[in-house]
Every structure is written in structure tokens, then in C-alpha cells.
Amino acid sequence: MISLDKAIGIVRQSVSALKGEEQVALVESLNRVLAHDVVSDINMPPFRKTAVDGYACRAADLDNPLSVIEVIAAGAAPQKNIVQGTCSKIMTGAPIPNGADCVIPVEDTEILSDGTIRFTGDKPKSNICELGEDIKIGESPLSKGTLIKPQHIAIMAALGCHSPIVSVRPKVSILPTGDELVEPTEIPQGSKIRNSNGHQLIAQVASAGAIPIYHGIVADTEEATEKAIAKALTESDVVVLTGGVSMGDFDYVPRIMERLGVKILFDSIAVQPGKPTTFGVAGNKLIFGLPGNPVSSFIQFELLVKPALLMMMGCNTPYAPIYRLPLANDYTRKRAERLGLFPVIVNANGEVEPLEYHGSAHIFALARAHGIASIALGIKEIKKGELIDVRSI
């Protein structure tokens, strides 16, 4: 049994970025990972421009009324120079005319009866954006490895990167194992239960930006399991099993994995839920054996598999941010030999409230959860008001 940090470290050291990239349309790049730095082909702003609607003028002239000599629209070019006692009406984003050193906002002015305008504000600010002050030609505001969100789409659009090159997405085979499982379309009889993990994993893989390949339920025989894993290893970059990785007699998956040339790097983590989590490698392929309980499977995917998938895409921010937030009430537990994880909501005061939670089979506890909180190995109690680590889910 190793610590969660150690398990995360082992996975990180075992991952290599996939080779291969593809060029996609700007909008299709959402949630993909940039394969190259995006380099600016222009200065931004590309010219000296106004940040406000107002009047471009000389700050030294503001004590007296100013004659309006021109109106400069966004997208237009100024025709006249500003000289003493004059100004040009100017729209947000339009180029600053020569001679002007500030723009007074339209709301800080009044129009006098003779058509001149007067500054009614206090101290003038320049309200001028200088050429290249945000970015210069050749600079790279978006690095290779960026996971593309809407704000990055705007940056690429601004820089002319209209068909970004992104890394290829890993293929992930999903193999739920266990004779107790039936698919959601069936009504479980006797001691059967429905397969929830397999479908949850499809959704988790897709949410992580990778390609899920669903195998269907694998029968609880050594032959069927070995055949399914062998096939998955040929067609995918990552194999995720659930169930069959615990200490029971019928849980022969670790044995099969070794037979298929999979080097097992750990088979147990000091974490609750999720202790019987197995991880191995076969060449550059990764194999995760996740526990059969759906909360364990969910959490271990988020902690271990999702970062691995992001790293395979070259993502430079593979780990979810952790927020340190105050606990709303005392939290205690009886045993502390594993790091503990439990579902919580963040209330309107920004405090963390643990949800009712019966253990790792209790998927309904996740229905309303905002996140998963953690309590360190060795710690049995966290007091109200103390900070606790929370991962958003």
C-alpha cells in the first residue's frame, strides 16, 4: 500500500505524451490541447487607440472649451491633427489622431451652446492603449500544452490562429468486469446490479477530452477477461477496468495483467475510497484497474486517470485545482490509516459541508456534491473553521 501522492507520482512518471497532432477549425479546438505555441503575427493593439468613447485632445488644453474638428469611428483613420484648443470626437477602439495625448470620456464632458465641448471631470487619465502594449509581433501568449477554453479561442482568433494544431486524443478502452453486472436496459434480478461504472467512465473519458471505447461487460472468467484486456491493449492507448482488482478469489485480473506483459507498478493505495486500485504499464500503454464500487471508481479516475489522459495530450495543467476552504462543522472519523475522501457541498457562506455518505457504493451521495474534500492520512479530526482541501467535480 503506497500513499496517494506516491501513486500520483508513479503514474506521472509512466506517462509519455502521444505522438501525433491534427489541425482543426478554431471552434472545434475547444477542450483540445495545443500542440504548438501560438505566436502573434501582429502587435496588439495594432495601433495607438482609445479605450473609451470620448474626445481625443491635449491634456494641457482641458481648462478651456475645445472645438471638435473631426469624428473618428472605430475602423476609420484620423484625417486631422490635434492642435491647441481642438479635439476629435472618437469611438472606442479608434486610432488616436496625431497631437493628442489623452481621451476624455464622453460622460466627463458637456456640449456648450456654440458647439464646443468642455471637460467636466476631475483629473484626466490618458485612456490611450499604446501600440503593442498587450502583445508584440513574435511573442507567444499561449503555450503548447494549453487546454483550450473559450478565452483561449478569443486569443487565437485575435492572433490569426484560425486552424490551430492540437495533439491527438488518447483512445481509452473501458472494461467493466463482473458476473453480477447487467446493463442499464435490464432489470437486475437476484443478486445482480446494474453496471453504472462503465457508463460513468465513458462520460468521464469524454469529459477529459479523450476517446472512450466501450467494450461491454466482461464475463467473470479468466479466459474472457484475458481476451478482453489483450484486445483493448492492441486497440487503445489506455485500458481502464473496473471491478476484479480486489482481494477476492474471483479477482484474477492482476494475474492476467502480468501474463500479458503488463508491469504492475502498484496495486493498493492508502486512500479511502479506492484502496484496491491497480496500475500497470505495457510499453507505452497504461492499464488502470479501478475498484468496482462506483464512488471509488469515480474518484480514482479523477485523481489518477484523468491527469494521465491530459498528460498524454501534452497538457501542462493536468491536475485539477484544489481549493482550501473552511469547514462548516467539525468532521471526525474513527480510523486514519488512509487519506480520506468524501463528497461535500460549498454553502452560501463559502464553507464546506460534508454530505450524507454511506461509503463507496453510495453513488447518490454525488448527486448534489460540488466537490470531494480530503482529510490527510493520520488525521482523525478537522475542526469547524479550519481549512480543508476540496476538488471541484
Enumerate residues 254-313 that contact a second copy by CB under 8 A.
Answer: 292-294, 298
User: Which of residues 260 and 361 has its CB atom nearest to a second copy in the complex?
Assistant: 361
User: With DSSP H G I counted as helix, E B as strand and the rest as coil, what are the percentages for the chain, rounded to 5?
Assistant: 20, 30, 50
Instruction: Select 47 or 266, whichever has its Cβ closest to a second copy.
Output: 47
Nearest to 36 by CA among 54, 49, 23: 23
265/101 Cα distance (integer angstroms): 65
Local structure of 285: helix, strand or coil: strand
How far, in Å, CA of 353 to CA of 127, rounded?
46
> Which residue of 12, 14, 53, 230 would you call a contact of a second copy, by CB under 8 A?
53
- Residue number with CB closer to a second copy (233 or 272): 272
Give the C-alpha separation, 117 to 147, whole Å: 49
Among 111, 112, 154, 224, binds a second copy (CB under 8 A): 154
HSE (CB half, 13 Å, CA atoms) of 329? Answer: 8
Which residue type, as a one-letter code, is found at position 271?
V
Least distance in angstroms from the C-beta of 282 to a second copy: 26
Q: CA-to-CA distance for 209 and 147, rounded, in angstroms?
A: 10
Least distance in angstroms from the C-beta of 365 to a second copy? 8
Among 282, 366, 376, 379, binds a second copy (CB under 8 A): 366
Using the structure block, give the residue that is written with the C-alpha cell 467473470: 220
Range 61-90, binding a second copy (CB under 8 A): 71, 73-77, 89
Of residues 101, 180, 222, 353, which one binds a second copy by CB under 8 A? Answer: 180
Q: Is 251 in the site for a second copy (CB under 8 A)?
A: yes
Confirm or reject binding of residue 46 to a second copy (CB under 8 A): yes
Find the DSSP H helices in 239-335.
253-259, 294-300, 306-312
Contact 95, 131 (CB under 8 A): no
| SS3 category, 228 | helix
By the rule CB under 8 A, 134 interacts with a second copy: yes
Of 199, 227, 231, 333, the residue at the interface with a second copy (CB under 8 A) is 199
Which residues between 106 and 125 bind a second copy (CB under 8 A)?
106-107
State the nearest-atom distance from the C-beta of 190 to a second copy, in Å: 6
Residue among 215, 241, 389, 207 nearest 310 (CA): 207
**Quick one: which of 325, 339, 344, 382 contacts a second copy (CB under 8 A)?**
325
Identify which of residues 177 and 285 has a Cβ nearer to a second copy in the complex.
177
Binders in 4-33 for a second copy, by CB under 8 A: 26-27, 30
CB 273 to a second copy: min, Å: 10
